[in-house]
Amino acid sequence: MLPLVKAGGRMNRVYFLHALGASAREWDQVIADLGDVGACVPLCLPGFGGSPDADLDVAGLVDWFSEQVAAHQPQSWAVVGHSMGGKIATLAAARARDGDPAFAGLAAVVLLAASPPASEPMAEERRAEMIDWFANGRIGPDEAATFVDANTAQRLPEPLRTQAIADVERSRRLAWTGWLKRDSREDWREAAGTLAVPALIVAGGEDGDLGEDAQRRLNLPHYRNARVEVVAGAAHLLPYEQPAAVATLIRDHITQAFGRALPAPFVALLASDRVSRGTRAVMTERHAAPPRGKVLSPQQRAVLAALIETVLPGAADPVDLAARIDAMLTSGIGDGWRSAELPADAEGWTSGLDTLDHLSSSFADASPADREQCLQSIADETADTEGGAFDPRQMRLWFAEARSEIARQWMALPATMARIGYDGFAVGGDGPHKQGYRLTAADMIEDWQQLEVQA
């Protein structure tokens, strides 16, 4: 059993990936307005912000980002991607979903005017013009100013405008033209798939190619747990144009995500070579919010949440567990068995919840004592179910199955495993040698089971 040993604990980290032609400096005011959300790490992408030139494709950029994350080894982190940085952020999230240990612990994604996994929408004439700006090896000050002014709703105040123009001038030729000629065109939709990590997608109210419509069409479909926000008075250079509004949106989103992050020692174990990519991917998916269920009505979900709260008091979020059971029913993949006296799972759960609500004249609104009394009568097979969908025996059988499923869903959660110190998933990684356990006697703890996370 994994003891959750606290040894200072690595703090939460937020990585910032900038737009084409920008640098880590574009985040200065946003970070200043963020407050205490964790350690902020603004990065200069290869070939920008004065860093050495590099001709990296999209996969190479994601590899580069994985090295930056690994250098800090955070146990809970978020990524904020602006424009070209957004494409990198989404594909990093896809690797985290697929069990890449370098990206274990990802808690949230924020996309600002983000380039999508698909080919980025851009007029070919404008693309060609921007490539031609580097025909002599570097961009001139007039073209850099044109680029900045074309991407803002209003002319930036000084000295921000001068800074933004200077960053464009510091851009290297291979990095700039490589993005426009190749990377922005690359289609990664299949690899991105659907992501469960909580996402905030932000668009400038006056952005053109990557405004609200593009974000809803091209980025939102890749995130099942996302919302879109539009910032008025801004076009494409959101961190420069509306830093306070952007900071508020980022802070609210990642603070909530960090609040439900797994304990650092548990994430460290999950990222270790004792856990396979497949297992890590499954655990990451389980920790995320479930897909939207379509079997239970809002009233039935409320009754189910009240049932969970009664049979599993204080152990879990009843609304979350109810949503997970609804998602299970929608998928049609249950525990593989049911009583012969009950209908198939979807009908069984809706009928059982409706009968429970009928018995108590609104189970969700009943007092704890009345709920207990109602459930005891069901367990004793003495409940008066006249007018309900199930008879007393069927209700007793359904209640037994319901308790089993509630417990199964709860125990499958990584948060529950962390809470009780369960480490049985960490018995072997992807290599040919599976580590297993050396000590199997009662109360014997191996060194790897006493993870300490250093600050």
64: domain CATH number is 3.40.50.1820
Distance, in Å, from the CA atom of 392 to the CA atom of 379, rounded to the nearest integer, reads 9
Distance, in Å, from the CA atom of 294 to the CA atom of 193, rounded to the nearest integer, reads 21
Q: Specify whether the CB–CB gap between 262 and 299 falls below 8 A.
A: no
Q: Specify whether the CB–CB gap between 297 and 351 falls below 8 A.
A: no
The pLDDT of residue 451:
57
| Averages of pLDDT over each 10 residues, the chain, 455 residues | 36 94 98 92 97 97 96 90 98 97 95 98 96 96 98 97 98 98 98 97 96 98 97 98 98 94 90 94 94 96 98 93 97 90 96 95 94 96 93 96 96 94 91 88 86 45
The pLDDT of residue 454:
39
Query: Is 420 part of any domain?
Result: no
The predicted model scores a pTM of 0.90
**Interval 398-437: pLDDT, tens:** 999 999 999 999 999 999 999 999 999 999 889 888 889 8
The boundaries of the domain holding residue 143 are 13-259
Query: Is 426 part of any domain?
Result: no
Asked if 253 and 306 sit in the same domain, the reply is no
Distance, in Å, from the CA atom of 403 to the CA atom of 215, rounded to the nearest integer, reads 42
Query: Is 437 part of any domain?
Result: no
Tokens of 52: 């050495």
Asked if 299 and 176 sit in the same domain, the reply is no
Helices marked H in 198-344: 212-214, 238-241, 243-259, 264-270, 277-287, 298-311, 318-331
Asked if 190 and 316 sit in the same domain, the reply is no
Asked if 297 and 227 sit in the same domain, the reply is no
Query: Is 371 part of any domain?
Result: yes
Cis ω for the linkage preceding 159 (within 30 of 0) = yes
Total number of domains in the chain: 2
User: From the CB of residue 432, how many other CB atoms can be counted at a distance below 10 Å?
Assistant: 5
Residue 90 CA from chain centroid, whole number: 10
Residue 329 sits at φ, ψ, to 5 deg, of: -65, -40
Instruction: Please calculate the CA angle 196-197-202 and round it to the nearest 5 degrees.
Output: 110
Asked if 142 and 251 sit in the same domain, the reply is yes
Asked if 191 and 338 sit in the same domain, the reply is no
Asked if 368 and 237 sit in the same domain, the reply is no
Query: Is 229 part of any domain?
Result: yes
Asked if 341 and 401 sit in the same domain, the reply is yes
Type of residue found at 119: S
Distance, in Å, from the CA atom of 317 to the CA atom of 207, rounded to the nearest integer, reads 39
Report the b/e string of 214-229 with b at 16+ CB within 10 A. bbeebbbebbbbbebb
Asked if 251 and 333 sit in the same domain, the reply is no
Asked if 57 and 142 sit in the same domain, the reply is yes
Distance, in Å, from the CA atom of 122 to the CA atom of 324, rounded to the nearest integer, reads 40
Q: Minimal CA–CA distance to 235: which of 307, 140, 164?
A: 164
Asked if 240 and 316 sit in the same domain, the reply is no
Q: What is the DSSP letter of 82?
A: E
Query: Is 436 part of any domain?
Result: no
| Distances, alpha carbon 428 to alpha carbons 327, 403, 431, in Å | 30, 32, 8
Distance, in Å, from the CA atom of 105 to the CA atom of 78, rounded to the nearest integer, reads 9
Q: Which of 233, 259, 285 is the last residue of a domain?
A: 259
Q: How far apart are the first and last CA of the chain?
A: 23
Query: Is 277 part of any domain?
Result: no
The pLDDT of residue 455:
38
Asked if 255 and 298 sit in the same domain, the reply is no
Q: Specify whether the CB–CB gap between 274 and 428 falls below 8 A.
A: yes
Query: Is 286 part of any domain?
Result: no
